[in-house]
Amino acid sequence: METAELKKTIEALLFISGKAISKDRIATVTDSRPVAVEDAINELKLEWNSGRHGVFIEEIGGGWQISTRPECADYIIKLYPWKGVLRLSPSAAEVLSIILYKQPVTKAQINEIRGVDSQASVATLLKNSLIKYSGRKKAPGNPRLIRISENFYHIFGIRDISDIPSWKDLAEDSRSAEEPEIDETAAEETAQEDE
């Protein structure tokens, strides 16, 4: 296949795939030598990766894929809210708030504060890397201690620890306000987060 045709074909394959395709796979499908595929992709990169486009060709795990530019992420999330949003169930949010303000805590302490078993919520939060186990409490049974993880800061968009409000100040505010402003509806419909 001559270069221009190969380039066209690779564009079509990458667009239709939406995920990474290996060089060998492209070579097999297009009946070309891997070297030719690589050359064609390098030429395509020159065209697509200028920053003028909303998508670019990226090498991922030994293959290539088309990715969207980071500056377009906000619009993609608006188009597919489930793609980049972590939604927590009300109980997971409760557990997270306890860990945030009481860390380090044990699971037993969380259960005691909430009055219900929090195992499922802790598992969800761990899975999403919002919290981590770190160290053990010097107490009978040496229970594991739970803390907020670094990822928490990214997910909640906090730059600085001083961005975390003092719950006391908010509690003062909400005493004067009629109702604490919590988006119950958003939390309720979303027991677990989407992929």
Partner 1 sequence: MKKVVNPGIPVGAKDYFVKIDVFEGPLDLLLWLIQNNNMDIYDIEISKITSQYLAFINTHEFDIDSPAEFLAMASLLIRIKSSLMLPKETEEHQLALDEKRALTEKLLEWKKIKASREILLSKFRERKNLFRRDEPAAIELEKKSALSVFELADIFGRIIKKGFHKFEEITGPEIYIEDVIKELLERIRSGEELKFSQLAFQNPTKLYVAVLVLAVLELTNKKLVTIKQARPFTDIYIKPVLSAVSGKNITEQPSGGESFYGNG
Strand partners, 65: 58
Among 60, 80, 84, 171, binds a copy of itself (CB under 8 A): 80
Phi then psi for residue 59, to 5 deg, are: -90, 125
Instruction: Verify binding: residue 154, a copy of itself, rule CB under 8 A.
Output: no
Residue 142 identity (one-letter amino acid): N
Let me know if 181 is exposed, middle or buried by CB neighbors in 10 A (0-12, 13-18, 19+): exposed
Contact positions with a copy of itself (CB under 8 A) in 23-52: 25, 28-30, 52
137 binds a copy of itself per the rule CB under 8 A: no
Task: Please give the Cα distance from 175 to 111 (Å, whole number).
Answer: 26
The whole-angstrom separation of Cα 195 and Cα 87 is: 11
Name the minimum Å distance from CB 195 to partner 1.
Answer: 9
| Smallest gap from residue 63 Cβ to partner 1 (A) | 12
Least distance CB 70 / partner 1 (angstroms): 4
Radius of gyration of the CA atoms of the chain, in A: 24
| Nearer Cβ to partner 1 (18/34) | 18
Contact 8, 39 (CB under 8 A): no
> Using CB distances below 5 to 8 A depending on partner kind, what does residue 166 bind out of partner 1, a copy of itself, none?
partner 1
Report the interface residues with a copy of itself, using CB under 8 A: 4, 7-13, 15-18, 21, 25, 28-30, 52-55, 66, 68-69, 71-72, 75-76, 78-80, 83
